[in-house]
Amino acid sequence: MTMLIAGQLLAFTADPFTVPPEDAARHETRGAVAVADGRIIATGTRGAMQARFPDATLRDHGDALILPGFVDAHMHYPQTAIIASWGKRLIDWLNSYTFPEEARFGDPAYARRIADRTLDLARAHGTTSLASYCTIHPASVDAIFEAAAARGMAVWAGKTCMDRNAPDDLRDTAQSAYDDSRALLDRWHGAGRARYAITPRFSPTSTPDQLSALGALWAEHPDCLMQTHLSEQTDEIAWVRDLFPDARDYLDTYEAHGVLGERGLYGHAIHLEPREIDRLRETGAALVHCPTSNTFIGSGLFDMGLADTHRVGLATDTGGGSNFSMLRTMAAAYEVAQLRGRALHPAQLLWLATEGSARALHAADEIGTLAEGSAADLVILDLASTPVIAQRHARAETLWEAVFPTIIMGDDRAIAETYVAGQPSG
């Protein structure tokens, strides 16, 4: 049965980092999305859609704004329970909060409970797809993919591999990292909407042998994504330099072991050297900006100018990131860019949280757009969700003035509805 989802409609027609932002989107004040079998089959004005699909069921969201569902390109579902923990930088954060919590995921029941909680929180904030790190425990991977399948969500995830500089109960080996990752990949990659991501945590917790083993696995399965961290904090970079004295730079610790490529996702990427910037552009690898995390644990300010030349996604980085909301993440991205002398346009912020992140995941044919054939993953934004937003919205003279207060001040109250594969969450 066909369903029409009606409201204001905002669909991107171009990358707003490569064309004037105002020219990058199509806006219908009375629009509708036609959905059947979990897919978008048409978009247009409400009148045209009703004439074309006269027998369709109508879900009318009034003046609310219809967007592609938000895409969170980098997060850690095992850190959900420790989000907003006080006062640590990266290495201390891992030792004080992350590693003790991740050790609990040896219990499959606990992993399932947190996976369910994470995806419910994400969906309540308008996120319909995400890329997550798991723990070293294969059951943690099963848990997130099973939870995603139960909700119809597209999720990228993988076993986090570490064979040094981690507690004994969170270490694997080069061989077990390869074997476990390959078995999980065979089980989950392409099963429904599940996609496997090969996942070395970062160079300090993987020996060269483990990085080489995972690089070999990636070469055997080049359609998979590979996700890791890069140049998050200056003391981390100094540590990498000590651990890899022959490397030209941080990125070279990956490149030398086959862990650099077009389908690579490199989280943070704040303190990059010129060579690293050039190589990331040459390979087409994706950088993932995690602004609330970068400010919360004092990492630094990402250079959004890289989005003019590189593939860039946006992410909460839960739980180093301090919020599940991609709206809050967009607001933080705006603030970080302001501190670097650039005022991001609302179109650029919304694009980063939807199609930009989908492109980073090499999934823009499936998620992040309102194109025909795309999954019917949608978020419906109430642009007057709180009194302070409503009074500012009332003065808006353009679409972008109407949307911007919700980007800057919105939270889960602004999420009027979330659809996953055409199914409403409410």
Report the pLDDT averaged over residues 46-65. 97
229 phi and psi angles, rounded to 5 deg: -115, 150
Residue 88: per-residue pLDDT:
77
Q: What is the DSSP letter of 97?
A: I
CATH code given to domain 3-68+369-424: 2.30.40.10
pLDDT tens track for 164-216:
999 999 999 999 999 999 999 999 999 999 999 999 999 999 999 999 999 99
Report the pLDDT averaged over residues 215-242. 97
pLDDT tens track for 251-308:
999 999 999 999 999 999 999 999 999 999 999 999 999 999 999 999 999 999 999 9
For the chain, what's the residue count? 426
Residue 426: per-residue pLDDT:
67
Rounded CA-CA distance 172/195 in Å is 22
Model confidence at 318, pLDDT cuts 50, 70, 90, reads very high
Based on its alpha-carbon atoms, the radius of gyration of the chain, rounded to whole angstroms, reads 21
DSSP string of 237-295, one letter each residue: HHHHHHH-TT-SSHHHHHHTTT--STTEEEEE--S--HHHHHHHHHHTPEEEE-HHHHH
Query: What is the domain partition of the chain in residue ranges?
Result: 3-68+369-424, 70-360
- Separation of CA 337 from chain center: 19
Read off the pTM.
Answer: 0.97
Angle, alpha carbons 146-150-152 (nearest 5°): 110
What is the token pair recorded at 153? 């969500």
| Topology of the domain covering 70-360 | TIM Barrel (3.20.20)
Instruction: Count CB atoms within 10 A of the CB of residue 341.
Output: 7
Fold match between domain 3-68+369-424 and domain 70-360: no
Residue 338: per-residue pLDDT:
98
In the chain, what percentage of residues exceed pLDDT 90?
95
Average pLDDT, the chain: 97
Report the pLDDT averaged over residues 151-171. 97
DSSP string of 200-219, one letter each residue: E--GGGS-HHHHHHHHHHHH
Report the pLDDT averaged over residues 142-153. 98
pLDDT tens track for 85-130:
887 777 888 888 999 999 999 999 999 999 999 999 999 999 999 9
Pick from 24, 1, 35, 16: nearest CA to 370:
35
Angstrom distances, CA of residue 342 to CA of 9, 188, 231, 336: 27, 41, 22, 9
CB 53 within 8 A of CB 33: no
pLDDT tens track for 129-144:
999 999 999 999 999 9
DSSP string of 385-417, one letter each residue: -SHHHHHHHTT--SHHHHHHHHHHH--GGGEEE
In the chain, what percentage of residues exceed pLDDT 70?
100
CB 286 within 8 A of CB 360: yes
